Structure 1
C-alpha cells in the first residue's frame, strides 16, 4: 500500500466525467434492480398488490426517478461547438456535497422497496429520510442561528469617547 504524503491530488476533468458516468450507472442499476425485484416478487406472490403498498411503491419510484434526474442534471457536461469539453459538471462523488445526500436517499429508498417485498411494515423505515433532513437543518442552519452569541457592545469605546470629551472640556476651561 502506497501512502501519499501531503495534499491529495486534484481530479482532472476527464476523470470527474468518467466517475460521474459510473456513479450514475451504478445508482440507476440499483434503482431498477429494486423496482424490478419488487414487481417480480409481487407478481409471483400476490394476485393483486395491496393499495397502500402500491401507493408507497409508486411514490418510491417517483423519488428514485427524481433523484436520478437531479444527479444526471448535476453531472451534465458542457461541450463546445467543436466537441471539446468545457465543463465536466458537478462532481457527484465529492464528500459533503448535495450529491452525497441524494445518493443516500436513493440507497434508502431502494433498500425500503426491497425490504417491503417481505412485509409492508418496512415502509416505515422511509421515515428516516425526513428525520435526517430535520437533523441536518437543525445542526447546519437553525441551531447555529439560534445559539450564536449576541454581538457585544463596545463599552470601552463609548467610555473612551466620553472621557476624551471631558478632557477636552477641561483643557479649554
Structure 2
C-alpha cells in the first residue's frame, strides 16, 4: 500500500518542478527581449502608429485598469483607436518607461512590470501629463513577445517627497 501511495504521489511532485532549467544567459536574453519589445511599443505610441501599437497585444488579451476590468483585445483596440485616431490625442510628446522588472517563468512566459511617464496634446492642444505602472503577463507567441494580460494604474504626478514608500526601496536601503 505504501508503494502505491508513493507511486501515485511521484507524478504530482514531478509536475510541481519546472519542466525546464534556463541558464542565466537565457534569462537575461529573455529579459532584454521583453524590455526591447516594450520600448518599441512606447516608440510606436510616440509615433501614433496604431497598427504597430496593437501588435504588442495577444488576441486573447485580458485587461484591467485603475481598479476595474476593462475588457479584452477588442477593448484595447477601441481605446488606442480612439486615442490615436481623429478626435483623439493630437500628438504624443513623450512616452518614457523606467524601472523595468521582468520575472522569467520559462522560455515562453514571463511577468513584466514597468513605470511610465507620458505627455500628450489633447484635442484642444493642451498638454496632459500622466504617469503610472503597467503590469503585463508576457507570452512568446509565434516567436514574438506579446502581452496576454495587462494592468495599468494611472497616478497623479508626485514629487520625490510625496513617494512615502521610497524610503523602503532597494536603492534607499542602508547597505
| Short-chain TM bin | 0.3 to 0.5
TM-score of the pair, normalised by structure 1: 0.33
Normalised to the residue count of structure 2, the TM-score between the two structures is 0.33
Report the structure number with the largest CA radius of gyration: 1
More helix by share: 1
Which one has a larger percent strand, Structure 1 or Structure 2? 2
Structure possessing the higher relative contact order (Cα contacts under 8 Å, 6 or more residues apart): 1
